[in-house]
Amino acid sequence: MRTPPAPSSPSSPGQPVPAAFAEPTRPVRALWVAGISLANLGMWMAFFGPLQVLLPEQIDRIVPTDKETVLAWVTGVGAAMALIATPVAGALSDRTTGRLGRRRPWVLAGATLGGAGLVVLGTQDTVWGVLVGWSFVQTALSCLNATLLAAVPDHVPRSQRGAVSGWIGIPQSAGVVAAVVLVTMVVTEIAPGYTLIGVLTLGLALPFALLAPDPPLPRAARPPWRGLLRGLWVSPRRYPDFGWAFLTRFLIGTGNAMFILYLLYFLRDAVGYEELFPGSDATDGLLTLILVYTAAVVATTVVAGLISDRIGRRRVMVAFAGVVMGVPAFMVALSPTWPTLLVCAVVLGVGFGVFLSVDNALVTEVLPSAEGRAKDLGIVNIASSGPQVIAPALAGPIVVHLGGYPVLYTVCGLVSLLGAVVVWKIKGVR
């Protein structure tokens, strides 16, 4: 059952609150969690399969002498498209009426277009083709991401959000492993790799898109269209907790994005993985690190969410996560060796596992209004996609001109620690 939200609902006084805007109170069932987790798995495979392996390899074949700069441009522009598209798609879904509800049509559209875009991207053999293709994929996946994010506050009561965020967070890490395994061991060519990931993106999203309940929004309760663009700005002065939550995620996300952006090149050029293990490829080392990292994430994220639900203290756990995530960056800066990287994968996984579940739960508790959940979460998601824009702009010049990998990873650590400090500015969440 659902109870009315705060007085920000557009319903007139005396009228019943639409089910789409009501605050959920009944815990969601395991089948619902499984459906949204599968949809997230497909989406994160579509994001990270290209980012971790396919795009670096594709660009290395096209421009091997300038691969770092081109990769930075491609990922940066793609992330910029996601930065814009996610809140816009969220605002549109907040205003969607029809029998399928507000979210399901956008889940289906995002998965379909994103999957098709990946197939086309795999056929590109020019820098401009890759840039345009990846930008389209990022835009389509943003529609999927915005509506999957909103499904949590739409359906999950606050007392369950930490645990559910943990379960939903597992596919974010598992998606990296699954995608890397598929495109390095199952399908080893670039174009078939993109095609396989694209098909799975749609296939994994379909059960949730077609079967999950989604209360329709009455036309009379639809937020006005004239406020769509204006609503894309949420004043940090009026909603300070929302602003601080945004900044916390942005800083910790920037540190993490800078850490992983050049990891494949770091293994080849700084660690010398292929010289250490003759006959192997740096992608083998990347896969090993991802497996270790994912195991640490899976081992901590649901437990951390359950603990935060039980004790009701989100801020201290987010701060802890930011500190833990900063430690591996300093370790790599001081000791760029393969054993150090293995240890760092464990530590980073523990920190990110805690951050993933608890920060997602925290954010849902500082949203300004019930009728704009998807839009507001889309804005917060800028703090996740924004680092993909900032990271290449910062990391590229550092690696090439300003001291190389030791300086890069020192900066990563400092940025993560700053995020751990900023979370204490949030006052409305314990």
Q: What mean pLDDT, rounded, does the chain reach?
A: 89
pLDDT tens figures, 163-219: 999 999 889 878 888 898 898 888 889 999 999 999 999 999 999 999 898 989 888
pLDDT, residue 250, reads 93
Question: Which pLDDT score is estimated for 175?
Answer: 86
DSSP letter (8 states) at residue 225: G
Sorted by where each starts, the structural domains of the chain and their CATH numbers stand as: 29-219+235-425 (1.20.1250.20)
pLDDT, tens only, 220-233: 888 888 878 788 88
User: Of all residues in the chain, what percent carry a pLDDT higher than 90?
Assistant: 55
Q: Is the pLDDT of residue 11 over 70?
A: no
More confident residue, 35 or 16: 35
Q: What is the CA radius of gyration of the chain?
A: 21
What is the spatial distance between Cα 424 and Cα 413, in angstroms, rounded to a whole number? 18
Q: Nearest to residue 101, comparing CAs of 374, 393, 400, 416?
A: 374
Higher model confidence: residue 394 or residue 118?
118
pLDDT category, 15, cuts 50, 70, 90? low
Q: Which residue has the higher pLDDT, 120 or 279?
A: 120
Q: What is the pTM of this model?
A: 0.79
CA 109 – CA 207 distance, rounded (Å) = 14
C-alpha to C-alpha distance for 160 and 231, rounded to whole angstroms: 28
pLDDT of residue 8: 45
Q: Is the pLDDT confidence value at 9 over 80?
A: no
What tokens does 371 get?
């009728």
Instruction: Report the pLDDT value the prediction gives residue 124, as an integer from 0 to 100.
Output: 95
Tens of pLDDT, residue by residue over 63-122, are 998 888 898 889 889 888 988 899 999 999 999 998 888 999 999 999 999 999 999 999
